Structure 1
Amino acid sequence: MPLFAEGEAIDPYVILTHYFGFSIPEENIGAFLYCRCQPAFPLSQGGVAIFQGNDNIEPLDMAYIDYRNTMPWPEVGKDTITYANGLKLTFLELGKKIRITYSSPDGQTTLDIVQEAITPMYARGHVVPGEELNHSSGMTTGGMEQVMHVTGELVLNGKPYKVDCFNARDRSWGQVRTEVKQAVVAPPVGWSPMTFSKEFIFGQVGYENLDTNPPWLDLYKPMLEGKPTTHFAWVMVDGEKRDIVRVHRNVTEYHSRLLCAMKQEIEAEDDRGVVYKFKGEAIAMSNMPAWPNAALRVGVYRWEDEQGRVAYDSYQEMWLDDTPHKMMQANINK
């Protein structure tokens, strides 16, 4: 969590982030634990958001939310990071094991979970479109994702729940995540990790393919034609990571108000020619606060592959700038 020396030049939109999540599929519950720091100010934002079901149109529709737009720089200890709203990260083993705790002001919602890695940290460039164009921060830039086994307890509005699931975590550092109006023009981008077991895991970040006739096609086809629709993708088979050379993503149903993907199909091919096919459906979905000039949808997906294996994992979809407005104005439906 570095800060800069006095007088050192730094882009105000440089960010450092931590994302953690978990789900309780039998209760249609998902959680979004997010921390975003901007060292130029210095300040942080983020917190705890817990949602249930698919009708979370506004952030306050969620079962519980304590997400703060402006907090001071977190307290950083030898192996801890603590935010002003009480969200605390304790790094029990760097890169492998993290304890996350939180308690609401009234004590009715608490969280005590441990996230333990089942994969190495996989390096990636960027998730949010446009970040690859802005690297003027002077910092080392990058990101990583890692699949975690999450165990512990959630008490939600006084009701206790056991947590035992898989969920990917994500980190970004030194990237310029601009909030300038119309600085980034892109269709919705979806992140869909899925963990079927410790031996079989898939993940990708990308757009819907143009040949599926997505509802934004007329708006963004000229800028995407002939370009890759996938930013980053990988698969783990029997503990071995393989690169993905092709992804085809087709959304078959959208949320009537949030406009995000509620059902989708993904076909991917690895560098050995093995083809994988997945079908997914959201069991929980929410509008999620993140940062201005963007809209974030976060859900829990049930995925099934051709062999009948089932995975539950977080799904995230980022809408940038004018995209929702343009789509709603045009009333485009697939």
Structure 2
Amino acid sequence: MNHSLTPLDDMFHPPTDDPWWTETVWFSWIVPERGLVGYVYPVFRPNVGTQFGGVVVFGDRPVPPWEEPVHAFDWHQPIPPGLDLRDMTLASGLTIRVESPGEVYSVQYSGRDLELELTVRARGTALVTRSSTPPLGAGHIDQMCHVTGHMVLDSQKSAVDCLAIRDRAWGSRRDGRQPRVSYSWGAASADEYFLAAGVHRDGIDTLTTGFLMRDGRWSPVISGRRRTVRGADGQVTEVEIAAVDELGRELAVSGRATPRHLFEGYPGMICWTGLVEWNLDGQTAWGEDQDVWSPGSWRRHRLA
């Protein structure tokens, strides 16, 4: 069920008593001309007082996570007393400030390998999903944004000016129970973009959520399928998305992915992500395709 975004969604949500109750804040950006994808991803478990996550930048070639241009990902840090997600500074050097609720965010980071200064402005309706089933109060926000600013990486300053996704999630997220899911998005302009996310069941990637912005008109995705071509290493090299939105509009998009990078946001989660150049209604749209597995399911896939 979809509900409107509220200023309260930039704050900690009231948790249940589940120790696995989790709040996440995710901002992404891309620099296609350098083949770079960046994530800001702090994660909080307030019932046990811990925080983890951080900042990662994936380069233009596949390497282990510790060889990526930036892998500043911390584990088991204490949540600072009285932390307010609307204006937070973490010990890692990451600062996130809500300049306008649900609309404008300031993201800064100062670390050994990266200096980052971004302004994130919403560029469309947020897809807000809330659940009344256990865990009570679970929810998710996905929103296309215009990200501007700069990054200094390897002493090279690069301007950032892209369309990219932000998301927020809250609810129970227990380690070791990762389903096989996909998360694909691309943007040609502020009036032409898409998000398509789904689950893998019975050998089929079924789309369960997302949105389509076409000719400046936004609508949720209600059904569809994701088809992939994989290389000898099991990684996705080509992606096709076929979906339908609430307005009855059909989305048919295809893309070729750069070599995949491993993002392990949680113990027991393998996320293979790659920068994708999509063909969206005849337009070039840059974005991502995230191919998410548990370690066991990935191992069985490779053995097969």
TM range (shorter): 0.7 to 0.9
- Partner Cα distance (2:153, 2:174) in 1: 34
Q: Which residue of 2 aligns with 1:202?
A: 194
After TM superposition, the structure 1 = structure 2 runs for residues 299-314 of structure 1, keeping only pairs within 5 Å, are 299-305=274-280, 307-314=281-288
Per the alignment, in what secondary structure is the counterpart of residue 201 of structure 1? strand
Q: Is residue 2:53 matched to residue 1:46?
A: yes
Q: Which residue of 2 aligns with 1:10?
A: 17
Q: Is residue 2:289 matched to residue 1:282?
A: no
- Partner Cα distance (1:120, 1:60) in 2: 36
- Partner Cα distance (1:44, 1:101) in 2: 18
In the superposition, relative to structure 1, how do residues 314 and 81 fare at CA in structure 2: closer, same or farther (>3 Å)?
farther
Shift in Å at residue 285 of structure 1? Answer: 3.0
In the superposition, relative to structure 1, how do residues 242 and 81 fare at CA in structure 2: closer, same or farther (>3 Å)?
same
- Partner Cα distance (2:230, 2:93) in 1: 38
- Partner Cα distance (1:304, 1:10) in 2: 45
Q: Which residue of 2 aligns with 1:253?
A: 230
Which of 119, 134, 139 in structure 1 is aligned with 2:124?
119
- Partner Cα distance (1:146, 1:277) in 2: 20
Shift in Å at residue 158 of structure 1? Answer: 1.2
Structure 2 regions of 5+ residues with no counterpart? 1-10
Sequence identity percentage: 23
Q: Greater strand share, 1 or 2?
A: 2
- Partner Cα distance (2:199, 2:246) in 1: 21
Q: Which residue of 1 aligns with 2:8?
A: none
Q: Which residue of 1 aligns with 2:148?
A: 151
CA contact (8 A) 1:301 1:313 kept: yes
Shift in Å at residue 79 of structure 1? Answer: 3.9
In the superposition, relative to structure 1, how do residues 246 and 262 fare at CA in structure 2: closer, same or farther (>3 Å)?
same
After TM superposition, the structure 1 = structure 2 runs for residues 111-260 of structure 1, keeping only pairs within 5 Å, are 111-124=116-129, 135-136=134-135, 139-173=136-170, 175-180=171-176, 183=177, 186=179, 188-207=180-199, 221=202, 229-254=206-231, 256-257=232-233, 259-260=234-235
- Partner Cα distance (1:17, 1:266) in 2: 27
In the superposition, relative to structure 1, how do residues 328 and 285 fare at CA in structure 2: closer, same or farther (>3 Å)?
closer
Per the alignment, in what secondary structure is the counterpart of residue 326 of structure 1? helix
CA contact (8 A) 2:12 2:23 kept: no
In the superposition, relative to structure 1, how do residues 120 and 273 fare at CA in structure 2: closer, same or farther (>3 Å)?
closer
Tell me the alpha carbon deviations over residues 22-47 of structure 1, each in whole angstroms, 9 at most, x when there is no partner.
01001101101111100111111111
- Partner Cα distance (1:316, 1:244) in 2: 18
Tell me the alpha carbon deviations over residues 83-107 of structure 1, each in whole angstroms, 9 at most, x when there is no partner.
22111101111111111111114xx
- Partner Cα distance (2:71, 2:130) in 1: 30
Structure 1 regions of 5+ residues with no counterpart? 127-131, 209-219
Q: Which residue of 1 aligns with 2:91?
A: 84
Highest RCO, 1 vs 2 (Cα 8 Å, sep ≥ 6): 1
Shift in Å at residue 77 of structure 1? Answer: 4.8
- Partner Cα distance (1:149, 1:325) in 2: 37
Q: Is residue 2:32 matched to residue 1:36?
A: no
Tell me the alpha carbon deviations over residues 195-253 of structure 1, each in whole angstroms, 9 at most, x when there is no partner.
22111221110146xxxxxxxxxxx62xx78xx82221221223322233431211023
| Count of residues paired in the alignment | 293
Which of 45, 69, 72 in structure 2 is aligned with 1:66?
72
After TM superposition, the structure 1 = structure 2 runs for residues 263-278 of structure 1, keeping only pairs within 5 Å, are 263-278=238-253
Q: Which residue of 1 aligns with 2:300?
A: 326
What's the RMSD between the two structures over aligned residues? 2.5
CA contact (8 A) 2:87 2:96 kept: yes
- Partner Cα distance (1:262, 1:277) in 2: 17
- Partner Cα distance (1:154, 1:74) in 2: 26
Q: Which residue of 1 aligns with 2:106?
A: 99
CA contact (8 A) 1:13 1:177 kept: yes
So what's the TM-score if we normalise by structure 2?
Answer: 0.87
In the superposition, relative to structure 1, how do residues 74 and 150 fare at CA in structure 2: closer, same or farther (>3 Å)?
farther
Tell me the alpha carbon deviations over residues 259-304 of structure 1, each in whole angstroms, 9 at most, x when there is no partner.
3422111122234443221111123531012111121222221111
In the superposition, relative to structure 1, how do residues 94 and 271 fare at CA in structure 2: closer, same or farther (>3 Å)?
closer
Tell me the alpha carbon deviations over residues 101-121 of structure 1, each in whole angstroms, 9 at most, x when there is no partner.
11114xx52000111110122
- Partner Cα distance (1:79, 1:144) in 2: 16
Rg comparison, structure with higher value: 1
In the superposition, relative to structure 1, how do residues 253 and 325 fare at CA in structure 2: closer, same or farther (>3 Å)?
closer
Q: Which residue of 1 aligns with 2:267?
A: 292
